Amino acid sequence: EQSSGINAEYGDIDTHNVVVNQVVYPDKDKEGCTACGLCGARARMQTKYLDQINDLYEDFHVVKMPQMPCEVKGVQMLRKFGGYLQSPPDMSKNSVHDLVKDL
């Protein structure tokens, strides 16, 4: 919603991409249940907002960047994490801990 106001104020800004930062993808246990209650609660709260983003920006390329368990810093980590902007990881098959190993 803010981007619409910014676009109106500053003119024609090309915005075809939307990045959503710090999306929580909770780890699952062997039974498929959320392993961390706090993470599960956070993910449920975010679902409402992610649904709104999907509705508002259905014609945009929306990238959901995962909340990482550590700070992403250093050139190598930033390049790898930045690569997720163009090729987002499949979080239904990966955990953030798997991503950290790859960074």
Show the low-confidence residues of the chain (pLDDT under 70).
Answer: 1-8, 10-13
At 23, which helix (H) or strand (E)? Answer: strand 17-23
For 4, the token pair is: 């619409």
Predicted confidence at residue 5, as pLDDT, reads: 64
Predicted confidence at residue 4, as pLDDT, reads: 60
Predicted confidence at residue 3, as pLDDT, reads: 61
Asked if 39 and 27 touch (Cβ cutoff 8 Å), the reply is yes
Give pTM, 2 decimals. Answer: 0.75
Chain length of the chain:
103
The SS3 assignment for 15 reads coil
Residues paired with 66 in a beta bridge: 23
For 81, the token pair is: 């994490």
Asked if 43 and 49 touch (Cβ cutoff 8 Å), the reply is no
Alpha-carbon distance 103 to 91, whole Å? 15
